[in-house]
Amino acid sequence: MAGRFRGRSLSARFGRPFVLFVFGLALLFLTLPVVLTFAGSFATQWVGPLPSGPPTLDHWEDVTMGTEVGADVAVGSSLIYSAGLAFGGVLINLVVGVPIAYAIARYDFVGRDWVNVFAILPLAPGIILGIAFLRSYPNLSTSGVALVIGYSLLKAPYMVMAVQSSFQSMDLQQLEESARSLGASWPRAFLTVIVPNAKAGIVAGSIISWTLAAAEFNFSYIVYSRGTPPLSIFLFNNITNASFLNAAAAVSVFFLLIALVTISLQLVGTRGARRRA
Amino acid sequence: MTAEIEPTANTPWVRVRATVEALVRPTSERERERRRIVALCLPFLTLLSVSGIVPLAEMLRMSVSEKRLVTAGFTLFHYEQLVTDPYYRTIAFNTLWFAVATTVASVAVAIPVAHALEKYELPGKPILLTVLSFPNSLPGIVAAFMIIVLLGNTGIVTNVFAVLSGRAPTELATATGVAGLFFAYLYSMIPRALLLLRGTYAEVNTDAEEAARSLGATPFETFRYVTFQQIKPGVIGAVILVFRTALAIFGTILILKSLLVWTLQINRELGAGNGFNIAGASAMATVWFACVFGFTLLAIRYTSAEVSI
């Protein structure tokens, strides 16, 4: 009680306002440019502090149709190309990620901790893996195959973590043994009982690893050489070569994609998976 | 006394063959379980080898190559250069101090933000959470663009300060300076630190906090001696994660170009100006990889921090 009578301490008076001030500042810092960019993509000019002029769809048209100057490719082809590459990466991630997540969650074996570390920790970041790919798979880089296998390794941890969080909420041993005692062979029990039970984690993991693969810049930048640019290279070309407002429109296309993915993740409703990824 | 070695048992080769045989044709339930574990891990280990270990080994070979266009010969020239050339030493120093500074700043911001999110009644919390984690999905090049929007010549912050100080916006624009780069790094790092800290904050024991308050501790004392002790593993985890991220940032620096750091120089080695010096780039990439990978393993080994991605 003694403290109460000494009058309120500094932190009691200023603690909460200070924390809220930092919170507000961080919120503004993280969201203001997103809002401004999106608004700017519809503006006719942006010479002052705020984008201005009557709303126009010109920049969106430039981005979706492609222009002759600067970043001249239309976003459509890049978007479809990246979506396809990322989808290939997700397919590989499903094949490698779900089984290893199950092995780690269900069984106890020698070296399990190390397997876990390698499964949930990205081995090397994009730029390093990109350099490593340059001469290892020189002929695959133009076809996009190198991009797919690179993406799948880079994003595998997200899949493993999402699936693991699904597995952790189930009694795996009992599930497996019930299925087996009802006559299912082990592979059948795994594929028809265990995997469907982890559906939420698998869907969440797929969405997360797809988004991150579609947005991967560092690896794509080093490995990509010619042909349709992946989405992130398209963005880079727009940011560095196109007019500021066209760049704003290109970045906004990307915002919409992320917003779409965020909404679908919320619909899937796997909060545990989202927290970790 | 003759220590006779049995030719049939316990030689490594025989043991390997027995293990493989047991995996292919298991006879006991224990062996069957072992076969399952191997079958479950095999796809991932294949991917890890094909797209991780093999290319990284090739990168190591490239870094000691004497020739530029093919991997041949052996020389440590590129490593020697990294150690002896002051130019490269400056880059290493830049990389480290900048990573430390941005790590400290972003974790220092993320702690109060996580605190406010978990402890205070904020209106529209689900929306706030979505909005705050949105930048996690943005690549570094977009983070750089965001900073140009805030701090560039037409940037809103630049213009606010221009009005307040009466100076020209172009004089005040910092987007392409080191300060701009600092904020661009924070843009990527704060949401990441926040993600990890929120997880830890959710598990804080509120009874202990209330006990401390009722015993007369001020809010700050409560935070320092009770709350902070509990979120410490999360803070350490966030520092590890964010420091790794800071070292790996590439897209942001590629656009803003205001400080010569390791990843930017790796890219420059590959450029036309350096005659596609892939051996040099590989040496830099190898050193980088060894440092970050070693750091992460040590961090996992010696802290109980839950290191997420």
**DSSP assignment string, A147-202:** HHHHHHHHHHHHHHHHHHHHHHTS-HHHHHHHHHHTT--HHHHIIIIIHHHTHHHH
State how far residue A102 is from chain B, nearest Cα, in angstroms: 8
Percent above pLDDT 70 for chain A = 88
Q: Which residues pair with A52 in a beta bridge?
A: A45
- B85-119 pLDDT per residue, tens: 888 888 888 889 999 999 999 999 999 999 888 88
Question: Going by C-beta distance under 8 Å and a sequence separation of 6 or more, which residues neighbour residue B288?
Answer: A128, B247, B262, B263, B266
Task: Specify the DSSP element, H or E, that contains A88.
Answer: helix A75-106
Mean pLDDT of A17-33: 90
Residues B155 and A47: their CA atoms lie apart, in Å, by 9
Percent above pLDDT 90 for chain A = 7
- Note the pLDDT of residue A72: 57
Higher pLDDT, A10 or B246: B246
Chain A within 8 Å of B278 (Cβ-Cβ)?
yes
Q: What is the pTM of this model?
A: 0.84
Residue in the structure block whose two tokens are 């050489």: A225
Q: What is the dihedral of CA B4, B9, B12, B18, to 10 degrees?
A: 170
| Beta carbons of A127 and B250 less than 8 Å apart | yes
User: For chain B, percent helix, then strand, then coil, each to nearest 5?
Assistant: 75, 0, 25
- A186-219 pLDDT per residue, tens: 888 888 888 888 888 888 888 888 888 888 888 9
Question: Which residues in chain B have their CB less than 8 angstroms from residue A9's CB?
Answer: 218-220
Percent above pLDDT 90 for chain B = 10
Higher pLDDT, A206 or A6: A206
Task: Specify the DSSP element, H or E, that contains A112.
Answer: helix A112-120
Chain A within 8 Å of B43 (Cβ-Cβ)?
yes
- Note the pLDDT of residue B113: 92
Mean pLDDT of A106-124: 82
Question: Which residues in chain B have their CB less than 8 angstroms from residue A30's CB?
Answer: 131-132, 134-135, 187, 190-191
What count of Cα atoms within 13 Å lies in the side-chain half-sphere of residue B198? 20
State how far residue B250 is from chain A, nearest Cα, in angstroms: 6
Contacting B residues, span 178-237, partner chain A, CB-CB under 8 Å: 183, 186-187, 190-191, 195, 198-199, 216-221, 223
| Beta carbons of A49 and B160 less than 8 Å apart | yes
| Cβ atoms of B122 and A17 closer than 8 Å | no
Lowest mean pLDDT among A19-33, A39-53, A181-195: A39-53
- Note the pLDDT of residue B89: 87
| Beta carbons of B41 and A99 less than 8 Å apart | yes
- B245-261 pLDDT per residue, tens: 888 888 888 888 888 88
Interface test with A, best of B44, B176, B262 (most A CBs within 10 A): B44
Q: By CA distance, what is A102's nearest residue in B?
A: B40
Interface test with B, best of A23, A140, A246 (most B CBs within 10 A): A23
Q: Buried b / exposed e across B121-152, counting CB within 10 Å, b at 16+?
A: eeeeeeebebbbbbbebbbbbbbbbbbbbbbb
Interface test with A, best of B31, B145, B278 (most A CBs within 10 A): B145
- Note the pLDDT of residue A93: 92
The first and second tokens of residue A120, run together, are 């949930």
| Cβ atoms of B190 and B106 closer than 8 Å | yes
CA distances from B34 to B31, B238, B287 (A): 5, 36, 37
pLDDT at A112 > cutoff 80: yes
Amino acid at B144: A
pLDDT at A159 > cutoff 60: yes
The first and second tokens of residue B54, run together, are 């093999």
CA distances from A122 to A112, A267, B76, B106, B289 (A): 17, 27, 28, 21, 11
Residue A2's pLDDT band (cuts 50, 70, 90): very low
Summary mean pLDDT of chain A: 81
Q: By CA distance, what is B280's nearest residue in A?
A: A131
CA distances from B65 to A138, B54, B82, B285 (A): 17, 17, 15, 14
| Beta carbons of A135 and B71 less than 8 Å apart | yes
Listed residue (B192, B199, B183) closest to B137, CA to CA: B192
| Beta carbons of B254 and A92 less than 8 Å apart | no
- A45-68 pLDDT per residue, tens: 776 667 777 777 777 777 776 655
